[in-house]
């Protein structure tokens, strides 16, 4: 069959935004076995190298776009500065690469599938008269909170600062246990001038015009939020990628086999797995408190920690704990969490980590840092009841011991383990043949196939 759809995929190259988008695209490319769709994947060189890791996939071609660093300069700034430079370079950097892909393939782009942050894709799609499918990389709860930004602002005007701590978002369906203080900072007026907040607010205005909003989750996790968002978008498609694809996320890393072999030797549900995702490193005082608890309690632990953070650990920690602990610069996280020896996940509550923990039935200890993480953490603790937070919100010796004992104990941790296993079952059901994720995936594939770009 001749190729008749050319999908332009536009990635946001920071944090773990691009990796799940590529997982979705790989899955779609594999499912269109008649090879009637091609995907051009537009992303910065650095992010493409990390997520493709030198691999090639049928019907997917990666194109590098300019990251915004002035020519001849080597970038040495922060994560947020890199983001700002990149945003300044959009959409021109994408347009340029898209023209190249069209001329190489001889086919006009027939549909844009983009990170939802890239709101300008709505205008690009309108100008090209093609559908725009937006991929939201976080949870439905944070998407919902952003969609209610205007109402949240008007509510905030009517309450004083002290009330914010505990006041609930009762007017947002499914969020009655969420407090104003749990919301992503970008929603609040104080941060509304930040580049990230401006980008997300523009996205909120454009998303209802998209042909579909897709996210890596499953409908049954939050039926009220799901139904509400279905009423706001033309199509709202929850697709649980981590189970559906079966492929581990392809982010570069090392020590994979070594830590899986180490895990196999540990007792059932005894290991504390620790990771703070792709962006964050806690402050040295917090790392020291966590390290002390692991060391004095002799908790078996596997800690994913970037090499440059190791120097922040207490002196001699690595040697003193080498009999019962392991530190790696990158762990094959989904496989780690699936291992029966893992009893708890200490996490920053990035959405991919929360979803992977649910998919493996591993309870969480939450230490959120920024963005959607506090909201995810509150959902974990107060709504789904599948984990706990830390007293005072940061790692201290006593608070960390308390949280670990709470989860690891047969008695107190029992309800949490039962809850997460029920949620895990719902996630698995969603990817069965007649499950909601499977249906949504098929609907997305049909939508892409019906776009023609001759």
Residue 149 makes CB contacts below 8 A (sequence gap 6+) with 187, 201, 204
Tokens matching residue 450: 């019906």
Annotation says 123 is catalytic: no
Q: Which stretch binds ligand U2F (CB under 6 A): 1-9, 152-160, 171-179, 328-336?
A: 328-336
101 vs 344, beta carbon nearer ligand U2F: 344
Q: Coil, helix or strand for 44?
A: strand
Contacts of ligand U2F in 202-261 (CB under 6 A):
249, 251
Active-site option among 6, 17, 240, 348: 17
306 vs 442, beta carbon nearer ligand U2F: 306
What are 38's strand-pairing partners?
A: 6
Mark out the alpha helices in 90-240 (DSSP H runs): 92-105, 121-128, 140-147, 149-157, 161-164, 195-206, 223-232
Question: 385, 416 in Cβ contact below 8 A?
Answer: yes
Binding mask 375-414 for ligand U2F (x = CB under 6 A): ----------------------------------------
Active-site option among 67, 79, 115, 228: 115
In which region does residue 393 sit, left (phi positive, over 0), alpha (psi from -120 to 50) or beta (all else)?
Answer: left
Mark out the alpha helices in 182-255 (DSSP H runs): 195-206, 223-232, 241-245
Least distance to ligand U2F from the beta carbon of 179, Å? 18
Q: Which stretch binds ligand U2F (CB under 6 A): 311-319, 326-334, 378-386, 415-423?
A: 326-334
Q: Is 334 in the site for ligand U2F (CB under 6 A)?
A: yes
Q: Is 16 in the site for ligand U2F (CB under 6 A)?
A: yes
Contacts of ligand U2F in 120-139 (CB under 6 A):
137-138
Q: Which stretch binds ligand U2F (CB under 6 A): 70-78, 289-297, 369-377, 439-447?
A: 369-377
Contacts of ligand U2F in 251-290 (CB under 6 A):
251, 275, 277-279
350 vs 399, beta carbon nearer ligand U2F: 350
Closest among 306, 308, 312 to 252, alpha carbons compared:
306
Residue 97 makes CB contacts below 8 A (sequence gap 6+) with 40, 42, 63, 64, 65
* Cα 51 to Cα 47: distance, rounded to the nearest angstrom: 6
**E strand map for 16-103:** 37-44, 60-65
Q: Is 373 in the site for ligand U2F (CB under 6 A)?
A: yes
5 vs 137, beta carbon nearer ligand U2F: 137
Closest among 254, 413, 407, 252 to 345, alpha carbons compared:
407
358 vs 416, beta carbon nearer ligand U2F: 358
Least distance to ligand U2F from the beta carbon of 140, Å? 12
Instruction: Tell which one of 5, 353, 374, 400 touches ligand U2F (CB under 6 A).
Output: 353
Q: Is 356 in the site for ligand U2F (CB under 6 A)?
A: yes
In which region does residue 442 sit, left (phi positive, over 0), alpha (psi from -120 to 50) or beta (all else)?
Answer: alpha
What are 44's strand-pairing partners?
A: 65
Please, what's the b/e burial string for 372-402 (b: 16 or more CB within 10 A of its CB; e: otherwise)?
bbbbbbbbbbebbbbbbbbeeeebbeebbbe
Sheet holding 212-215, edge to edge: 60-65, 37-44, 5-10, 111-115, 132-136, 212-215, 236-238
Instruction: Tell which one of 68, 173, 343, 350 touches ligand U2F (CB under 6 A).
Output: 350
Instruction: Tell which one of 330, 345, 384, 441 touches ligand U2F (CB under 6 A).
Output: 330
Instruction: Tell which one of 8, 15, 399, 435 touches ligand U2F (CB under 6 A).
Output: 15
Size of the site for ligand U2F (CB under 6 A): 24
Annotation says 115 is catalytic: yes
242 vs 436, beta carbon nearer ligand U2F: 242
38 vs 380, beta carbon nearer ligand U2F: 380
Binding interface with ligand U2F (CB under 6 A): 15-17, 137-138, 249, 251, 275, 277-279, 304, 330-331, 333-334, 350-353, 356, 371-373
Task: Write out the catalytic residue numbers.
Answer: 17, 115
């Amino acid at each position: 069959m001749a190729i008749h759809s050319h999908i332009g995929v536009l990635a946001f190259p920071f944090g773990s935004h691009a990796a799940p988008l590529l997982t979705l695209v790989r899955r779609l490319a594999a499912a269109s076995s008649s090879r009637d769709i091609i995907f051009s994947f537009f992303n910065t060189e650095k992010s493409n190298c990390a997520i493709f890791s030198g691999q090639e996939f049928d019907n997917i071609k990666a194109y590098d776009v300019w990251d915004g660093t002035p020519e001849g300069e080597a970038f040495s700034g922060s994560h947020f500065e890199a983001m700002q430079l990149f945003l300044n370079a959009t959409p021109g950097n994408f347009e340029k690469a898209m023209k190249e892909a069209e001329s190489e393939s001889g086919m006009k782009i027939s549909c844009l599938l983009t990170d939802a942050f890239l709101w300008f894709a709505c205008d690009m799609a309108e100008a090209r008269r093609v559908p725009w499918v937006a991929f939201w990389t976080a949870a439905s709860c944070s998407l919902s909170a952003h969609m209610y930004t205007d109402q949240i602002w008007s509510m905030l005007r009517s309450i004083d600062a002290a009330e914010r701590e505990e006041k609930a978002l009762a007017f947002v369906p499914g969020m009655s246990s969420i407090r104003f203080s749990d919301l992503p900072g970008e929603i609040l007026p104080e941060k509304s001038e930040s580049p990230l907040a401006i980008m997300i607010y523009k996205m909120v205005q454009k998303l209802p015009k998209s042909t579909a909003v897709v996210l890596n989750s499953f409908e049954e996790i939050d039926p009220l939020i799901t139904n509400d968002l279905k009423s706001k978008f033309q199509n709202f498609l929850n697709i649980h990628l981590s189970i559906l694809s079966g492929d581990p996320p392809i982010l570069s890393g090392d020590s994979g086999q070594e830590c899986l072999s180490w895990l196999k030797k540990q007792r059932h549900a005894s290991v504390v797995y620790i990771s703070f995702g792709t962006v964050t490193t806690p402050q040295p005082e917090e790392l020291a408190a966590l390290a002390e608890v692991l060391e004095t309690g002799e908790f078996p632990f596997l800690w994913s920690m970037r090499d440059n953070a190791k120097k922040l650990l207490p002196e001699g920690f690595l040697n003193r704990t080498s009999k019962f602990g392991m530190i790696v610069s990158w762990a094959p996280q989904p496989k780690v969490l699936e291992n029966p020896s893992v009893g708890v996940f200490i996490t920053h509550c990035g959405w991919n980590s929360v979803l992977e923990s649910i998919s493996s039935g591993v309870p969480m200890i939450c230490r959120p840092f920024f963005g959607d993480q506090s909201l995810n953490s509150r959902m974990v603790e107060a709504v789904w009841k599948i984990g706990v937070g830390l007293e005072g919100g940061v790692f201290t010796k006593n608070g960390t011991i308390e949280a670990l004992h709470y989860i690891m104990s047969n008695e107190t941790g029992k309800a949490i383990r039962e809850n997460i296993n029920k949620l895990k079952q719902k996630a698995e059901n969603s990817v069965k043949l007649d499950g909601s994720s499977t249906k949504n995936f098929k609907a997305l594939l049909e939508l892409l196939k019906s776009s023609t770009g001759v």
